[in-house]
Every structure is written in C-alpha cells, then in structure tokens.
A and B are shown apart, each in its own frame.
Chain A
Amino acid sequence: MTGSFQRRLECEFEARRAANPRYSLRAFAVSLAADHSTLSQVLRGVRPVPASSIRRWGRRLGLSEEEVAAYIAAQHLRDEGERSRETELAHWSAEALAIIEQPEHWHVYQAAASGSFEGDSRSLAERAGVPIDAVNIALARLLRLGLVVTASDGRWRATGTPAAHPAEFRTLALARIRERQWRTP
C-alpha cells in the first residue's frame, strides 16, 4: 500500500497535464501549496509522504476527510516485501523455539533414528506422556526440516549421522533451520 497517495498525486498531475499540456510540476506544487522539489521527490518515489502532507495536500485536491484518513492509514501499512520478510522470520523463529522448548521433537527423532518408529504417533505419545497432536506437529516439523524421512518399508529414519543426545539433536535441528532460512528468498 505504500505509495498509494503518491499514485493519487500522479493521477491528478497526469489528468491536469492531459487537460493542459503546458501544465508544469511547479504549477502543481503551487496548487498544493507544496515545495516544488519535495513534490518532485514524492512523485519519483524517492521520499514518502508524511501524514501531515497527505492531510494538507488531500484537502487541496478536494478529497474528503474519509479519503484522507484512508490514505494516511494505507501509508502506515508495511509494504508486501516487509510483511513477507516478517512472516518468514516469525515462521523460522517459531520453528526454532519449538525445537528448543518441546522435547517431543527429540522423542520422535530418537524413535526414527532407532528404526523402531512406523508413524504410530499414538503409542509414541503414550510412551512420552505428551498429547498425540503435539507428537504429530513435531513429526510434521521434522519432516519439513528433512531431519526424518520414511523408507519404502514404511519405517521412519533419521537423515545423516543421527544425533546421539538431545543437545546434539537441538544443535543439528537449529542448524537445519538456519540453512532453510538462508535459502528462503
């Protein structure tokens, strides 16, 4: 949404130029009671429009208070790229914290590494004393991270050299998370 008021200004300027090919940016700035070079930078996308300018210029453009409020609100929204980066960061942080804080990941991994796990989350949950949904969430996470896979005989196994104890497993899993995070565009 960033730049939506800038686009409104562009449209207005283009409309005025269409009506009068000699209409200049300087004339547009005068009509808005704006500084010419500031307006030029705004239109080129070099600088954002502060809320105070949206209010002032919006009134000069004949916008209603509601329209001005909508443009100000839109200006405060983060752009898509920033939102996407934040979502990715939140995702990978949640993955990392889950590995650190929830021992069921180690239980699932250990069972897969021992070759005894066949996806029977229920019995694993009973042995570990955790809810079956927690085991299934852990299982899906370990699959996403490529730390466990299934063989054609239906048995699950740990990938690579299996970690021998919980701390080693956490180190391995967090390193895998970092790899995936870096790979995310």
Chain B
Amino acid sequence: MAHPVTQFQILSKDPDATARFCEALFGWRIDAGNPMGYRRIDTGSSEGIQGGIWPAPPQASAFVQLFIAVEDAAQKSAEAQELGAKLLIPPTRLPEGDEMAVLLDPQGMPFVLWRRAGSAAATSR
C-alpha cells in the first residue's frame, strides 16, 4: 500500500481564532458538527488535501501535523518505533470509526498514522 499524506491538522492555541482567520483569508469552510467537535476544514478545492483544527496542549506552541494513510495503525506504529520514532498516542479508534496514532519521528517532528473507517484493516477487525 502507498502511504499518501491525506490530511493536515493545525494544532492551535485558539482553534476558534484559527478557524476565523482561515475562513476570512482563504475562504475555507470549517465545520465542527461531529461528536468530537473536530473542526474539519474544506478548502473548497479538489487540489491538495483537506484538513482540520485541534486544540494544542497549553505547553506546546502552534504547529501543523500531517496525517499519513496506513492500513494498520498498530502495525505501522510498531514499525515506526523500531525505526526510532516515539509513540505519543497509541492507536485510537475515533467515534466515526477512523483510527489514529500520533508519533514523534526521530527528529522530534510529530505525525499521525491514519486509517480511515471502512479501509481494509478496519473491516477485518
């Protein structure tokens, strides 16, 4: 399986302010109408990828994470750790069936392993 970057996520100290800024500047549509209140970004274009906004923990500065598609978040997470990554959030199933794990790469950059609901590994469980 290829592992494309499927989504970006802005970790913001003030998610509402970030949403307003992106709406005003880029015309992005931001919708938080889901169980986790996740602010999904629709850039309004078929080019590039879509994204989301999540609150940054108070001790962190604002940053952007990339979501990388995987078939099996647990397996890829283990492989990543063998290669020197550090696990921050273990594979976690989200309310709508997606699965994610958050890691730091060996250089300290956070990234997300992301399996969409309905993909092969999800339906085989």
A residues engaging B (CB < 8 A)? 90-91, 94-95, 98, 118-123, 125, 132-133, 136-137, 140-141, 143-144, 146, 149-152, 154
Whether B35 lies near A94 (C-beta < 8 A) is: no
Q: Total number of A-B contacts with CB less than 8 angstroms?
A: 59
A–B complex contacts, Cβ < 8 Å, 30 sampled: A94-B57, A94-B58, A94-B59, A98-B58, A118-B35, A118-B95, A119-B95, A120-B36, A121-B35, A121-B36, A122-B36, A125-B37, A132-B36, A133-B15, A136-B37, A136-B54, A136-B55, A137-B58, A140-B89, A141-B57, A143-B90, A143-B92, A144-B89, A149-B92, A150-B92, A150-B94, A151-B93, A152-B93, A154-B93, A154-B95
CA distance A95 to B57 in the complex (A): 9
CB neighbours (8 Å) of B94 from chain A are 119, 150
In chain B, positions 80-97 with a C-beta closer than 8 Å to chain A are 88-90, 92-95, 97
CA distance A168 to B125 in the complex (A): 35
In chain B, positions 89-111 with a C-beta closer than 8 Å to chain A are 89-90, 92-95, 97
Secondary structure type dominating chain B contacts: loop
CA distance A121 to B36 in the complex (A): 5
In chain B, positions 14-53 with a C-beta closer than 8 Å to chain A are 15, 35-37
CA distance A28 to B77 in the complex (A): 55
From B38, which residue of chain A is reached at the shortest CB distance? A136
B residues engaging A (CB < 8 A)? 15, 35-37, 54-55, 57-59, 88-90, 92-95, 97, 125
CA distance A94 to B59 in the complex (A): 6
Min C-beta distance of B16 to chain A, whole Å: 8
CA distance A111 to B115 in the complex (A): 25
From B37, which residue of chain A is reached at the shortest CB distance? A132
From A143, which residue of chain B is reached at the shortest CB distance? B89
CA distance A125 to B37 in the complex (A): 10
CB neighbours (8 Å) of B35 from chain A are 118-123
From A121, which residue of chain B is reached at the shortest CB distance? B36
